[in-house]
């Protein structure tokens, strides 16, 4: 294989128009979170994306003893402690038996002293439908305004959705949509999970894939997802392979083109994620809703790469700050 392409901060840089649009989007994120308890009819402020928590759990990241020598400095211990959150991507929480199967598997990796090493919010669809920063910001702003103002903002949101549509028509995106539809009724833990965008691994840039081992896709068919997870972990351990791809050239592994898969970069197994049975955290504990899986809180050499990823830095920060401020006030009243 050729030498890996090195990280350059130019991959992340926004132009002036994009920065102005981001400030507008940040305001709508704060507005959404401030009104999120009434939007979702819950007694706490929710996240601005992946609002619905199915479960949180403690887990372990076991390092593969046969990882390539070049990767060993980043994984210098036998295992790392994890906090894991399973969620749904919708902005609004609905107490329904059947949710759109847009799932999240967020992983928080701790060091030997319990400090944060890295956050990786993984999802069960490997691609992102928007490559243009301005298009994404206008769409996200329109969606936030729709939830806040309802029908008066419907038409502007539809206009932005139409502008986004051409990004759907790549071979990779259509193929993955077909696969996703075919698995729409499968158990949440039977899906593969992906980083979508790229992340740093020192000076290298990688994508991440999580592949579950031996999970029956028909588990919990007639149950709500929360209940199916609770029942599953009462009698089962969960194990998934952790694989990475390395960026060698931008033609085959583009950083800022997220609607195509990386080509000519083999998957390398670096370890396994394991959640032991009876490892679910108390879903009634409101401190779980204060957890943050912001990938930009990670150590610098594990942080996200790319312009779309850069937007998440500001968006996460505004969402988390607003959510924590409101929820701490609510928690204080409750106690």
If you search the block for the tokens 């999802």, which residue do you land on? 123
Question: Residue 188: how many CA atoms within 13 Å on its side-chain side?
Answer: 30
Highest mean pLDDT among 86-90, 103-107, 131-135: 103-107
The angle that helices 307-334 and 133-149 make with each other, rounded to 10 degrees, is: 30
User: Which value, to the nearest 10 degrees, does the dihedral of the CA atoms of residues 31, 107, 80, 311 take?
Assistant: -60
Residue-number span of the structural domain to which 295 is assigned: 9-334
Q: Does any domain span residue 2?
A: no
What is d(CA 136, CA 128) in angstroms, rounded to the nearest whole number? 10
Tell me the CATH number at 87: 2.40.180.10
Lowest model confidence (mean pLDDT) among 69-73, 75-79, 96-100, 260-264: 96-100
Query: Can you read off the two tokens belonging to residue 28?
Result: 């709508």
Please count the other Cβ atoms lying within 10 Å of the Cβ belonging to residue 275: 23
Q: What secondary structure letter does DSSP report for 174?
A: H
Decide if 194 contacts 179 (C-beta within 8 A): no
Q: Does any domain span residue 13?
A: yes
Q: Does any domain span residue 71?
A: yes
At residue 108 the predicted structure's pLDDT band, cuts being 50, 70 and 90, is very high
The pLDDT of residue 318 is 82
Count of domains observed in the chain: 1
Which residues make beta-bridge pairs with 52?
88
């Amino acid at each position: 294989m050729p030498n890996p392409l090195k990280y350059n901060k130019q991959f992340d840089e926004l132009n002036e128009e994009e920065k102005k649009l981001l400030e507008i989007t940040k305001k709508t994120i704060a507005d959404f979170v401030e009104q999120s308890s009434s939007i979702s009819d819950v007694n706490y402020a929710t996240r601005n994306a992946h609002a619905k928590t199915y479960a949180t759990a403690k887990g372990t990241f076991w390092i593969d003893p046969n990882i390539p020598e070049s990767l060993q400095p980043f994984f210098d211990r036998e295992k790392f402690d994890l906090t894991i959150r399973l969620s749904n991507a919708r902005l609004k929480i609905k107490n329904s038996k059947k949710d759109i199967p847009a799932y999240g598997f967020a992983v928080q990796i701790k060091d030997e002293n319990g400090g944060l090493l890295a956050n990786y919010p993984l999802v069960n669809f490997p691609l992102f439908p928007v490559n243009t920063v301005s298009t994404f910001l206008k769409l996200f702003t329109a969606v936030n305004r729709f939830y806040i103002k309802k029908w008066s903002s419907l038409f502007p949101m539809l206009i932005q959705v139409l502008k986004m549509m051409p990004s759907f028509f790549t071979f990779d995106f259509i193929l993955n949509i077909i696969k996703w539809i075919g698995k729409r009724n499968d158990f949440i833990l039977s899906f593969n999970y992906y980083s979508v965008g790229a992340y740093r691994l020192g000076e290298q840039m990688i994508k991440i894939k999580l592949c579950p081992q031996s999970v029956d896709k028909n588990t919990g068919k007639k149950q709500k997802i929360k209940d199916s997870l609770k029942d599953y972990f009462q009698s089962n351990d969960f194990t998934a392979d952790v694989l990475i791809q390395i960026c060698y050239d931008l033609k085959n592994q583009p950083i800022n083109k997220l609607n195509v898969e990386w080509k000519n970069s083999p998957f390398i197994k670096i370890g396994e994620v394991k959640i032991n049975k009876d490892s679910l955290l108390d879903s009634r504990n409101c401190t779980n809703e204060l957890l943050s899986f912001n990938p930009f809180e990670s150590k610098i050499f594990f942080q996200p790469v790319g312009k779309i990823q850069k937007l998440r830095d500001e968006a996460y920060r505004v969402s988390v700050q607003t959510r924590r401020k409101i929820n701490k006030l609510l928690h204080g009243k409750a106690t």
